[in-house]
Amino acid sequence: MNRPAMTLATGASLVAVIAMIAPAQQSGPRRSLRTTAATAEDGSIVVFGTLEWLEVAQLSALQEGNVKWLEPQVGSRVVEGQEIGQLHDEIARLNAEKARLIAESTAGIAKAKAQFDQAAAKLARDLEINKRSPGAISREEIDKDTADVNYADALRQEAMEKRLVDAKEAELAEAILRQHTIVSPITGYVLDRMKNPGESVRANEPLLRIGKTDRFKFVGWVPLEVSQRIRVGDVVEFRPVEPDADLPIEKRVFDGKIMAVNREASTVGGSEVSVLAEINNPANEAQPELELIQGMRGELRILRPGSGVAGGNASATRPVDGSDLRSASAR
């Protein structure tokens, strides 16, 4: 009695499940990203993997103080050499101004020179007198005049050396003042922000973490036998491939070179080793959507496997045509 009802309920559930699956199937096939390496018709090796940060800079305060202002937020783009923040620098500015005034002062040298001129003139007069009237000035007086000249000359030399030291002190004070200005050491994007205006910081305490964007690290895995053909310095091209999106950047390739081939194999699902490549990512402020980003997936084509010829510092991308997009045949 209950069995027909149960069968009817089960049939209704299956209909509902099929109805949920059908629209997804009708929406069209999704592009998939291969997870194994392949060899193309031209002999190049195609590796599939992900971009990671190649260089991350931790920007720290060079001096102890309080944050006056700090502009970039997480996700903001900064440029190398850009002033992005400042510590309160009122005392440092006064010290720098004081040191500059001391360094520019010439009073010490003028005083020492006047003393030297006076002592030298007295010695010259006494010698002239003795020349005209021998013995008029005692030998002891002549020796004293000579010692006064030497002493005044030493004071003059000391004043000149002090001015050099004062100039260095002024440079040091200016350097300390400049260190209150926070400057980005690289071009990239802010990943973390540890401090805000009004907060105190210690010397070398981190303020921001910045990911450098001019180059990325590609990480992919290849079968052990394929890795034997790859050498450090091999020329590569990277093309972004996002399975769930259709992006303009997928129509471009980025130059680079192999950085390393791991010598430790992973045996999970087969013997594979990781391959690392350095990918150039030229800035494109007019079209930022054509720049690579961390975490982007894609295919790396090793153009001349085993050549070990570095690709240089290529800084341009180029569009791909149909031949570049041909599918690789499995090795």
Q: Kindly report the backbone phi and psi dihedral angles of residue 250, in degrees, each rounded to the nearest multiple of 5, phi listed first.
A: -70, -10
Place of tokens 């720049």: 291
Write out pLDDT tens, residues 163-209: 999 999 999 999 999 999 999 998 999 999 999 999 999 999 999 99
* E runs forming strands in 171-312: 181-183, 188-193, 200-201, 206-212, 215-223, 235-240, 252-261, 272-280, 297-302
Are the C-beta atoms of 190 and 72 separated by less than 8 Å? Answer: yes
The residue among 232, 275, 239, 278 whose CA lies nearest residue 256 is 278
Picking from 48, 23, 44, the residue whose alpha carbon sits closest to that of residue 296 is 48
Question: 3-state SS string over 136-198?
Answer: CCCHHHHHHHHHHHHHHHHHHHHHHHHHHHHHHHHHHHHHHHHCCEEECCCCEEEEEECCCCC
Pairing of strands 45-53, 77-78: unpaired
Q: How many CA atoms lie within 13 A of 257 on its CB side?
A: 15
More confident residue, 34 or 192: 192
Is residue 330 predicted with pLDDT exceeding 60? no
Q: What is the pLDDT of residues 44-81, one digit of tens each?
A: 899 999 999 999 999 998 999 999 999 999 999 999 99
How large is the average pLDDT for residues 257-273? 83
* pLDDT reported for residue 191: 94
Q: Taking residues 5-28, what's their average pLDDT?
A: 36
3 pLDDT more than 70: no
DSSP state of 27: T
pTM above 0.95, yes or no: no
Task: Using the predicted structure, report yes or no on whether residue 27 has a pLDDT greater than 60.
Answer: no
Query: Is the pLDDT at 12 greater than 50, yes or no?
Result: no
Token pair recorded at residue 96: 């720098």
Q: Residues near 47 by Cβ (< 8 Å), separated by ≥ 6?
A: 37, 218, 220, 221, 222, 275, 299, 300, 301, 302
